[in-house]
């Protein structure tokens, strides 16, 4: 390219990125709808809260799985760390939620930073197992140090009102959901910005082909460590929210099934475009709740069946169905609506 | 304490047989099959049910414990699994988790959730002393049987034509096809053998782990994965070594430092992977 | 972000917002929260069967009110338990919460019970301090100290001086280790070693090898029901029975749910517990027969009897309050309530709201070709020692 063309290309690139960065109306409708659901159905606040927190957790996984292509079976480690950090803080008298949120995210981020180098070498399976191993070891550590973590009994504690004004304990169910919503929205907006920045593009390059990205001059290792730390922070925040809005923590937060569940949620909703985790979380939790009410003993069977069918039918084809439906009635909307 | 060493070897051998099939599908065929434990469960149930309900002697049930999961494996492979050979790891994870979630409640519904016990015949009970070292007869039996299986598998893989064809198909399926090797059939057979081994392992393990119950697949999934990961993807020997190492370290660790407990195998795995990210015996091309 | 997500979101919203229940003054709803899936699923199964049996036998009307039983699966996760408790009270208008398969699950629901003034009947969990966590908690299961302390007594009286304790490393296990150990040493015995085993443990071999090397008179065991079978087998396989080491422990290791299949390795084990399916009373015979009939021959265990008595407690309390299902009235009625359970006579301690019951010393023997815990000594009306020590 000649010297004169470079600024022009950069200009077009910047314009393109800016266009992509604008919030589209379906997104705005989505967030308003979620907010409306919280306000309109206070009796469902507890399950909505659970969905929002799971959505944040899935979002954190999307940052490494969907954006960067790193497989992890141990993300529950950060969920647990954030939750226990916030819980221990609250039981020792420092019960302000905002403080607990930051501390939870920070603790998780620190551990993420320390363990990120383990992910740099090796194949997918290695990463899956290392992350799993770390989360299981943390679970064992928590079990052994019952004086701090309450061991298998877990910790019960009370939480102060958010910003000193809005109680989020049993009397403030709706406030709890709103608190989770606020945190989720803010973190989502930041993640969205991140994904569409040059940093995000670099991550996409790493996901597609790490070797080639390195050859292009992208410092892949540093980027991977950076996004893993951010992802850990997000997961830690989700854990802190979970602890604070339920006022309990127990060892099952570090369990393998938590990591597996969040991976399922993300895969169901679709990885890579950030909304997948939220949708998958909602779908998984609501579906599980509905089926479990009908058959408390055998609901796993139906979920498993749904998963098998989902994969065999092709996740793409199922997700395309609503779009094709819309295309019949509003072709222009359908064409524009690609993330 | 030699007894502890032998206990560890027995445990490791058991892990090997259970995980060998997973090593095949994962390491050699590059397919993440988290439903592997379900085949082990089927094998365990076959033995338990044949013994408890039909009075079949223990040894006679073992071939069935191999064959029935093997047949099931082939059936599933032909119909469902092979559609996903080229799919992304995520899809494979999702699919096989779905299979496990379907299998467990079926077992629960048909057989109840109490663990089905395998009560060993009298000649396998008790302990013997060999040069002053005590060992359970059954543990000795496990070591011998699993050792024979390992040797057979290795010979098969290395010395027979089928083994060579399998290794070729794994290295480069397209070229192998071009050379006239029926890759499809080979994968099917490998999958069947892997599932059969899992079933046999389940039958052998039933006594040691307290019976077979519907949650068996998930209880041991993590352990299997650890064995395969530590051993590396280079075929049978890697899995054997990984299993033995884990078995001995786990048992010895629990004996000498009981409070360490479960830590050991996770710790060993993480440390191994830090030093050797591909596992101890990895393939050259880093897969 | 695109339209497909919008549609999905709308559909989910609709699904979530549907299904609110209506309050009905003539119905008393009992919300049972049990681990129906996950590692403690067998607890859930036994308890669900027992609760449904009770209703089937005693009808679903008490003191003019209809009884509605809702069963929810908390998968053994404490945050799910809490949410289910809140939903049962808020959306389904439950007047009573029941169940709770593990200690953290019971603890999770406690603040909800207190806030909403709804009785929480613990029918499974066994750690002593649970009833202290809310004035609305009553328990119909048992406590580990209640079951473990009498074992120490029996052991000392029967010439056992040196013991190794093996317990699973979690709440109830630690309780058992402490209470047996303390009572045993107070009576002059020695606990040579205290071994703790990880909860998710497939292999007891190394731990039992340590026991063998310690050469005690007996080994005191607590493992969660489900691991009893493998423990027994390992015990025999290691030759411990032949070397004269007696097997003693709480009844969890010879859980009726699994005892029949444990094989002869279990014969001779002496345990202390509050319930045996072989308990010789007309009430128990009727209970066991009806339970097995309704559940394909499944033998009831102590979890089942916990749920059965939980239902009994609610029914009797309602009769006493003449149908008043408010939390305060029910709890007041429950305090001091006593009745004949399939396990023997039971009552609810008015001070602690915990269960007072007989503890039996039993031995595993073959009865009609099947293995049972046969009771041969009774310690009557045992209060939970952990709380009794405080009052």
Using a CB-CB cut-off of 8 Å, the residues of chain A touching B261 are 140
Using a CB-CB cut-off of 8 Å, the residues of chain B touching C205 are 7, 11, 251
The domains located in chain C, with CATH, are: 21-142+283-353 (3.40.50.2300), 145-273+359-388 (3.40.50.2300)
Q: What is the per-residue pLDDT for A169?
A: 77
Q: Residue C315: what are its φ and ψ, rounded to 5°? A: -60, -50
Which among A30, A28, A160, A26 is positioned nearest to A90, based on CA atoms?
Answer: A160
Q: What is the per-residue pLDDT for A316?
A: 59
Using a CB-CB cut-off of 8 Å, the residues of chain C touching B211 are 229-230, 258, 261
Tokens standing for residue A119: 């992910």
**Of B84, B101, B261, Cβ closest to residue A307:** B101
Q: Is C380 on the interface with B (CB under 8 A)?
A: no
Separation in Å, CA A286 to CA A248, C11, C139, C366:
22, 11, 32, 49
Task: Report domain extents, chain B.
Answer: 21-215
Least confident of A78-82, A92-96, C17-21, C28-32: C17-21
What's the angle, vertex CA A282, arms to CA A281 and CA A286, rounded to 5? 115
pTM surpassing 0.95? no
Say whether the ipTM exceeds 0.90. Answer: no
Q: Using CB atoms and an 8 Å cut-off, which of residues 189-208 of chain C contact chain A?
A: 198-199
Q: Which residue of C has its CA nearest to B137?
A: C237
The secondary structure element, H or E, covering residue C32 is: strand C27-34
Q: Is pLDDT of B138 > 70?
A: yes
Cβ proximity of C57 and C17 under 8 Å: no
C22 band by pLDDT with thresholds 50, 70 and 90: low
User: A108 or C15, which is more confident?
Assistant: A108
User: A197 or C47, which is more confident?
Assistant: C47
Query: Tell me: the pLDDT tens digits for C251-268?
Result: 888 888 888 877 787 888
C22: closest CA of chain A, how far (Å): 12
Cα B247 to chain centroid distance, Å, stands at 13
Q: What is the per-residue pLDDT for B287?
A: 38
Tokens standing for residue B240: 């054997």
Q: Do B98 and A305 touch (CB under 8 A)?
A: yes
Q: Is C117 on the interface with A (CB under 8 A)?
A: no
Q: Between B and C, how many residue pairs show a Cβ–Cβ distance under 8 A?
A: 99
Distance CA C335, CA C382 (A): 16
Q: Is B140 on the interface with C (CB under 8 A)?
A: no
Distance CA C186, CA C195 (A): 20
Distance CA B23, CA B224 (A): 9
Q: Which residue of A has its CA nearest to C71?
A: A296
Cβ proximity of A58 and A52 under 8 Å: no
Q: Is C205 on the interface with B (CB under 8 A)?
A: yes
Mean of pLDDT values over A72-77: 90
Distance CA C192, CA C178 (A): 14
Cβ proximity of C248 and C219 under 8 Å: yes
Mean of pLDDT values over A129-138: 87
Q: Using CB atoms and an 8 Å cut-off, which of residues 257-286 of chain B contact chain A?
A: 259, 261-263, 266-267, 269-270, 273-274, 277-279, 286
Query: Tell me: the pLDDT tens digits for A237-275?
Result: 999 999 999 888 988 899 888 888 898 888 888 888 889
C3 band by pLDDT with thresholds 50, 70 and 90: very low
Distance CA C34, CA C102 (A): 9
**Of A153, A297, A319, Cβ closest to residue C103:** A153
Strand-pair partners of C138: C121
B72 band by pLDDT with thresholds 50, 70 and 90: very high
Q: What is the per-residue pLDDT for A52?
A: 95
Query: Tell me: the pLDDT tens digits for B200-223?
Result: 988 988 887 777 888 888 878 888
Q: Do C209 and B7 touch (CB under 8 A)?
A: yes
Give rounded-to-5 percent helix, strand, coil for chain C: 45, 25, 30
A335 band by pLDDT with thresholds 50, 70 and 90: low
Q: Is C230 on the interface with B (CB under 8 A)?
A: yes
Q: Do C108 and A319 touch (CB under 8 A)?
A: no
Neighbours of B54 (CB within 10 A): 8
Q: Do B125 and C236 touch (CB under 8 A)?
A: yes
Q: Do A246 and C79 touch (CB under 8 A)?
A: yes
Q: Do A306 and B89 touch (CB under 8 A)?
A: no
Using a CB-CB cut-off of 8 Å, the residues of chain C touching B4 are 206, 209
Q: What is the per-residue pLDDT for A107?
A: 96
Distance CA A29, CA A16 (A): 23
Q: Write the Ramachandran bin of C103: left for phi over 0, alpha for psi from -120 to 50, otherwise beta.
A: alpha
Query: Tell me: the pLDDT tens digits for A161-196?
Result: 888 788 887 777 888 999 999 999 999 999 999 988
Least confident of B88-92, B96-100, C131-135, C153-157: B88-92
Query: Tell me: the pLDDT tens digits for A22-45?
Result: 788 888 888 998 999 888 888 888
B89 band by pLDDT with thresholds 50, 70 and 90: confident
Distance CA B72, CA B77 (A): 8
Distance CA C42, CA C99 (A): 13
Mean of pLDDT values over A96-102: 92
Distance CA A150, CA A243 (A): 14
Distance CA A139, CA A149 (A): 10
Cα C304 to chain centroid distance, Å, stands at 8
Q: What is the per-residue pLDDT for A214?
A: 84
- Rounded to a whole number of angstroms, the distance between the first and last alpha carbons of chain A is 30
Q: What are the start-end ranges of the H helices in chain A?
A: 5-21, 25-40, 45-65, 76-91, 97-115, 124-144, 146-149, 173-195, 198-208, 210-215, 220-246, 256-269, 275-294, 299-313, 315-329, 331-336
A157: closest CA of chain C, how far (Å): 10
SS3 B35: coil
Report the mean per-residue pLDDT for chain A.
85
User: A158: Cβ–Cβ under 8 A, 6 or more apart, which residues?
Assistant: A90, A95, A169, A247
Q: Is pLDDT of C23 > 60?
A: no
Report the mean per-residue pLDDT for chain B.
82
Distance CA A35, CA A188 (A): 15
Q: What is the per-residue pLDDT for A322?
A: 54
Q: Is C98 on the interface with A (CB under 8 A)?
A: no
Q: Is pLDDT of B14 > 50?
A: yes
Using a CB-CB cut-off of 8 Å, the residues of chain C touching A153 are 103-104, 107, 127, 171
Least confident of A142-151, C277-286, C309-318, C344-353: A142-151
Query: Would you tell me the crossing angle of helices A76-91 and A256-269 to the nearest 10 degrees?
Result: 120
B81 DSSP assignment: G
B159 band by pLDDT with thresholds 50, 70 and 90: confident
Using a CB-CB cut-off of 8 Å, the residues of chain C touching B220 are 202
List the single best residue of A143, A151, A244, A296 to mutate versus C (max C Cβ within 10 A): A296
Own/partner long-range contacts of B256-264 (Cβ < 8 Å, ≥24 apart) = B258/C195, B258/C196, B258/C197, B258/C206, B258/C207, B258/C210, B259/A144, B259/C196, B261/A140, B261/C169, B261/C196, B261/C197, B261/C198, B261/C201, B262/A136, B262/A140, B262/C198, B262/C200, B262/C201, B263/A137, B263/A140
Q: What is the per-residue pLDDT for C15?
A: 47
Tokens standing for residue C324: 């008043």
Query: Tell me: the pLDDT tens digits for C168-225?
Result: 887 788 889 999 999 999 999 999 999 888 777 667 888 888 888 888 999 999 988 7
Q: Is B58 on the interface with C (CB under 8 A)?
A: no
Strand-pair partners of C99: C33, C122
Report the mean per-residue pLDDT for chain C.
87
Q: Using CB atoms and an 8 Å cut-off, which of residues 102-131 of chain B contact chain C?
A: 108, 112-117, 119, 125-127
List the single best residue of B29, B97, B99 to mutate versus A (max A Cβ within 10 A): B97
A107: closest CA of chain B, how far (Å): 21
Q: What is the per-residue pLDDT for C140?
A: 94
**Which chains lie within 8 Å of chain B at 3 or more CB pairs, if any?**
A, C
């Amino acid at each position: 390219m000649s010297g004169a063309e470079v600024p022009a290309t950069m200009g077009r690139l910047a314009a393109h990125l800016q266009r992509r960065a604008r919030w589209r109306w379906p997104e705005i409708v989505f967030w308003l709808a979620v907010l409306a659901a919280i306000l309109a159905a206070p009796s469902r606040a507890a399950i909505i809260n659970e969905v929002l927190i799971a959505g944040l957790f899935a979002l954190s996984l999307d940052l490494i799985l969907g954006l960067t292509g790193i497989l992890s079976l141990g993300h529950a480690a950060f969920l647990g760390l954030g939750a226990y950090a916030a819980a221990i803080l609250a039981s020792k008298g420092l019960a302000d939620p905002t403080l607990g949120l930051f501390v939870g995210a920070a603790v998780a981020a620190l551990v993420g930073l320390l363990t990120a180098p383990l992910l740099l070498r090796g194949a997918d399976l290695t990463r899956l197992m290392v992350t799993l191993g770390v989360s299981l070891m943390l679970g064992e550590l928590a079990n052994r140090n019952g004086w701090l973590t309450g061991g298998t009994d877990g910790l019960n504690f009370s939480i102060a009102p958010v910003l000193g004004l809005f109680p989020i304990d049993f009397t403030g169910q709706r406030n709890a959901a709103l608190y989770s919503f606020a945190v989720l929205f803010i973190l989502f907006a930041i993640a969205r910005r991140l994904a569409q920045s040059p940093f995000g593009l670099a991550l996409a390059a790493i996901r597609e082909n790490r070797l080639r990205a390195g050859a292009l001059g992208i410092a892949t290792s540093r980027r991977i460590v950076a996004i893993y730390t951010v992802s850990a922070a997000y997961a830690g925040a989700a854990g802190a929210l979970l602890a604070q809005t339920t006022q309990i923590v127990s060892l099952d937060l570090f369990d393998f099934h938590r990591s597996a569940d969040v991976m399922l949620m993300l895969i169901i909703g679709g990885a890579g475009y950030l909304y997948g985790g939220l949708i998958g979380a909602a779908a998984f939790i609501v579906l599980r709740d509905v089926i479990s009410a009908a058959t408390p003993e055998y609901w796993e069977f139906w979920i498993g069946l749904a998963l098998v069918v989902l994969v065999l039918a092709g996740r793409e084809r199922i997700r395309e169905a609503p779009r094709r439906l819309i295309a019949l009635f509003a072709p222009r909307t359908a064409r524009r609506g690609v993330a | 304490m030699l007894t502890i060493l032998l206990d560890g070897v027995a445990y490791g051998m058991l892990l090997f047989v259970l995980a060998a099939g997973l090593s095949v599908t994962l390491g050699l065929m590059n397919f993440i099959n988290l439903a592997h434990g379900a085949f082990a469960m089927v094998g365990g149930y076959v033995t338990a049910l044949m013994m408890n309900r039909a009075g079949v002697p223990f040894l006679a049930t073992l071939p069935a414990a191999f064959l029935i999961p093997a047949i099931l494996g082939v059936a599933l492979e032909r119909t469902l699994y092979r559609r996903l050979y080229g799919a992304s790891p995520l899809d494979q994870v999702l699919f096989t988790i779905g299979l496990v979630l379907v299998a467990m409640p079926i077992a629960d519904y048909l057989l109840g959730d109490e663990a089905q016990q395998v009560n060993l015949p009298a000649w396998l009970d008790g302990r013997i002393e060999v040069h002053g070292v005590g060992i359970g007869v059954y543990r000795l039996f496990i070591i011998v049987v699993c050792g024979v299986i390992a040797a057979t598998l290795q010979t098969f893989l290395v010395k027979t034509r089928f083994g060579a064809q399998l290794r070729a198909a794994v290295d480069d399926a397209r070229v192998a096809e071009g050379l006239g090797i029926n890759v499809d059939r080979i994968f099917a057979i490998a999958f069947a053998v892997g599932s059969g081994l899992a079933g046999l392992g389940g039958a052998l393990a039933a006594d040691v782990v307290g019976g077979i119950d519907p949650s068996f697949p998930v209880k041991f999934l993590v352990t299997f994965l650890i064995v395969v990961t530590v051993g590396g993807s280079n075929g049978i020997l890697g899995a054997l070594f990984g299993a033995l190492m884990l078995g001995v370290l786990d048992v010895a660790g629990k004996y000498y430092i009981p409070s360490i407990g479960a830590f050991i195998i996770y710790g060993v795995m993480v440390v191994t992977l830090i030093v050797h990210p591909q596992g101890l015996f990895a393939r050259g091309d880093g897969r | 972000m695109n339209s497909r997500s919008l549609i999905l979101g709308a559909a989910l919203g609709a699904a979530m917002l549907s299904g609110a229940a209506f309050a009905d003054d003539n119905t008393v709803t009992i919300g049972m929260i049990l681990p129906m899936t996950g590692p403690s699923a067998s607890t859930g199964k036994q308890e669900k069967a027992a609760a449904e049996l009770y209703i089937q036998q005693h009808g679903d009307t008490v003191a003019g009110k209809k009884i509605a039983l809702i069963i929810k699966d908390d998968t053994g996760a404490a945050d799910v338990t809490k949410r289910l408790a809140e939903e049962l009270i808020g959306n389904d208008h439950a007047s009573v919460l029941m169940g709770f398969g593990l200690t953290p699950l019971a603890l999770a629901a406690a603040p909800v019970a207190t806030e909403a003034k709804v009785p929480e009947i613990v029918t499974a969990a066994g750690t002593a301090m649970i009833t202290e966590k809310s004035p609305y908690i009553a328990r119909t299961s048992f406590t580990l100290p209640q079951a473990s302390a009498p074992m120490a007594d029996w052991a000392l009286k029967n010439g056992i001086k040196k013991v190794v304790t093996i317990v699973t490393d979690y709440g109830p296990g630690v309780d058992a280790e402490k209470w047996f150990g303390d009572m045993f040493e107070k009576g002059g015995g020695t606990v040579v070693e205290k071994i703790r085993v990880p909860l998710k443990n497939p292999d007891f071999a190394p731990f039992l090898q340590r026991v063998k090397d310690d050469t005690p008179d007996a080994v005191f065991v607590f493992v969660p029901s489900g691991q009893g079978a493998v423990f027994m087998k390992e015990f025999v396989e290691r030759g411990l029975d032949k070397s004269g080491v007696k097997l003693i422990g709480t009844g969890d290791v010879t859980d009726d749910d699994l005892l029949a299949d444990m094989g002869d390795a279990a014969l001779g084990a002496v345990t202390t517990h509050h319930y045996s399916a072989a308990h010789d009373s007309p009430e128990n015979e009727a209970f066991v027969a009806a339970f097995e009939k309704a559940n394909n021959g499944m033998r009831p265990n102590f979890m089942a009897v916990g749920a059965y008595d939980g239902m009994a407690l609610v029914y009797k309390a309602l009769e006493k309050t003449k149908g008043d299902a408010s939390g305060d009235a029910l709890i007041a009625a429950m305090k001091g309530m006593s009745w004949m359970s399939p396990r023997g006579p039971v009552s609810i301690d008015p001070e602690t709201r915990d269960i007072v019951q007989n503890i039996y010393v039993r031995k595993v023997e073959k009865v009609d070709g099947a293995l049972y815990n046969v009771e041969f000594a009774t310690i009557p009306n045992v209060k939970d020692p952990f709380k009794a020590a405080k009052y």
